[in-house]
Amino acid sequence: MTPLQYRKAQIWTDNTVLNINNYDYEYWKDSGNGTMIITANANNGSFSCEWHNINNIVFRSGKKFKYYDRTHKQLGNISLKYDAAYNSNGISYLALYGWTVDPLIEWYIIECYAEHNPARKFKHLGAHDTDGGTYELYCTTRENGSSILGVRDFGQYWSIRTVGRFSGTVNVSAHLCAWENMGLTLGNLTETALSVEGWQSSGKAAVNTNILTIKPIANMEVTANEIPQAKEIDEK
């Protein structure tokens, strides 16, 4: 399937999942008002968004992998370079995000958050230094939660940057390895994305740069524009 090219901006106000220029964009909400804008001929996963009077809302752009048959180590070294403007009140965060299967795990790398640490009540595992900062590691279990495989139990892993930032390069593989070094298990990677998420909050963000790069074992760098397009999956 050829990725779609658009001459006009995409303006979304309802739940939508669409591949544009080899990036998988997603807008999801359960209630309230929000808008996601993808500019004409958007490159490198860029988008802007705004929300208010919501319960839970998600704006996301990244890559869903075509087959769920490789771990992050088998895929290679994964990194994401981003630059964003972000302003919010209430519970909200700018994060890298993904899932694994076998086992089913939802993971977050929080680059900055608005009101408080979203993982503060979860089990604290320790800390690790990477990407020019310190990240606190947490884990928890969701029971009967919404997942990429439907409603079921699954694990959640969190890596929270102690001093937030709005731009930089995240060594995704380093965070995944840090959880594994704490004794946690990850399965086959299904996606990696940059995400803006809000809970009972208002805010806006503009993601100007969002470049996902994978360096396979053969040491040949591959950007998201060159990664095979993903199959569609049901997402929360």
Is 115 one of the annotated active-site residues of the chain?
no
Q: What is the largest CA-CA distance in the chain?
A: 48
Domains (range + CATH), the chain? 69-215 (2.60.120.180)
How far is Cα 110 from Cα 105, in angstroms, rounded to an integer?
16
pLDDT computed for residue 204 by the predictor: 98
136, 191, 197, 235: the active-site residue: 197
CA geometry: angle at 224 spanning 107 and 156, to 5°? 5
Characterise 87 by phi-psi region: left (phi > 0), alpha (psi -120 to 50), beta (else).
Answer: beta
- Give the contacts of 109 (CB within 8 A, at least 6 positions apart): 95, 96, 97, 135, 159, 161, 170, 172, 175
Is 197 one of the annotated active-site residues of the chain?
yes
pLDDT computed for residue 230 by the predictor: 34
Which residue stretches of the chain have pLDDT < 50? 1-3, 220, 227-236
Q: Is the pTM of this model over 0.85?
A: yes
Which tens digits make up the pLDDT trace of 54-112? Answer: 999 999 999 999 889 999 999 999 999 999 999 999 999 999 999 999 999 999 999 99
Give the DSSP letter of residue 173.
Answer: H
Q: Within 13 Å of residue 167, how many CA atoms lie on the same side as its CB?
A: 7
Q: Respond yes or no on whether the N-terminal peptide bond of residue 103 is cis (omega within 30° of 0).
A: yes
106, 111, 136, 235: the active-site residue: 106
Location of structure tokens 């990477």: 130
